[in-house]
């Protein structure tokens, strides 16, 4: 595949996807470092799905909490050519890494075996511009990804907690039986 972006590609169809299980994890967050060349797409969205095993997954907007070191957090509520909600306007035009773009994912993604995220174009058509704000040339430009981290807080498996509670009950029962036998 050639380098470059298609300014007429639908929103959310150009970028990278990462699929993984979040089983036994809660509080899912994403962080990534991105270097965008001068002719790369400026507007970046982070989306997630709770089921990447179907033919047409339903992608939802993640809540972007930081636009990184060279980006700007933007919000769209009116243009049909840009994702509704928040997104990152990348800048720098190939002058460096936009470090620590971060996003949080709703609790619905906790313990999900079919979870996936994508870091994709947030705009199309007239809103699809390069990192300098000029119209895309559709023949060059790219994003480079590094340090893509999807993390969460480990949670114990429910069966392990039940087994521990059952074992605790047996130990308490033995303790009570032992005290009762001393009194007799």
pLDDT at res. 92 = 65
Does residue 128 sit within a domain? yes
Does residue 143 sit within a domain? yes
Does residue 78 sit within a domain? yes
pLDDT at res. 3 = 53
Does residue 94 sit within a domain? yes
Range of the domain at 60: 15-155
Domains in the chain, number: 1
Q: What is the pLDDT along the chain (184 residues), one digit of tens a residue?
A: 345 678 889 999 999 999 999 999 999 999 999 998 888 899 999 999 999 999 999 999 999 999 999 899 999 999 999 999 999 999 866 677 899 999 999 999 999 999 999 999 999 999 999 888 888 877 778 899 999 999 999 998 766 555 555 544 444 444 444 444 444 4
CA dihedral 77, 80, 86, 89 (to 10 degrees): -120
DSSP string of 101-157, one letter each residue: EEEE--GGGTT-TT-EEEEEE-B-GGG-BBTTSSBP-SSS--EEEEEEEEEEEE---
Does residue 171 sit within a domain? no
Does residue 176 sit within a domain? no
Does residue 182 sit within a domain? no
Nearest CA among 48, 45, 51, 47 for reference residue 71: 45
Does residue 172 sit within a domain? no
């Amino acid at each position: 595949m050639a380098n470059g972006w298609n300014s007429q590609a639908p929103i959310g169809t150009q970028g990278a996807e990462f699929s993984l299980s979040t089983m036994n994890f809660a509080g899912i967050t994403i962080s990534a470092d991105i270097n965008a060349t001068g002719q790369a797409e400026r507007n970046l969205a982070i989306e997630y799905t709770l089921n990447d095993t179907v033919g047409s997954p339903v992608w939802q907007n993640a809540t972007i909490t930081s636009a990184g070191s060279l980006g700007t957090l933007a919000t769209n509520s009116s243009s049909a050519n840009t994702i509704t909600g928040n997104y990152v306007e990348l800048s720098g035009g190939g002058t460096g890494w936009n470090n620590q773009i971060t996003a949080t994912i709703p609790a619905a993604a906790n313990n999900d075996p079919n979870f996936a995220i994508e870091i994709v174009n947030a705009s199309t058509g007239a809103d699809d511009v390069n990192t300098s704000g000029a119209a895309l040339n559709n023949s060059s430009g790219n994003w480079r990804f590094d340090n893509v981290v999807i993390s969460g807080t480990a949670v114990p498996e429910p069966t392990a907690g039940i087994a521990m509670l059952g074992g605790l009950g047996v130990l308490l029962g033995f303790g009570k039986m032992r005290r009762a036998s001393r009194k007799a």
